[in-house]
Amino acid sequence: MQSLIVKKLRLGDRIAQLLIQPIMTAEVMEVDELSENVRWENGFVSAGIQ
């Protein structure tokens, strides 16, 4: 969001900016072993870029 209001600042003026965003959480599950995944071939993870 941008503001079109122009405000002149002077030396010593106090300004602040606050950005409120939702907190994202993930559900973590402990497993005994990982399933096979073709992206993990040769010990490297692929980002899909070739």
Residues 6+ apart with CB under 8 A from 39: 45, 46
Measured CA to CA, the distance from residue 31 to residue 3 in angstroms comes to 49
Angle CA 35–28–48, to nearest 5: 50
pTM for the structure as a whole: 0.25
Q: Could you tell me the two tokens for 38?
A: 């073709």
1-50 per-position pLDDT tens digit? 677 888 899 999 998 889 999 998 989 888 888 776 655 555 566 566 65
* Residue labelled with tokens 């209001």: 5
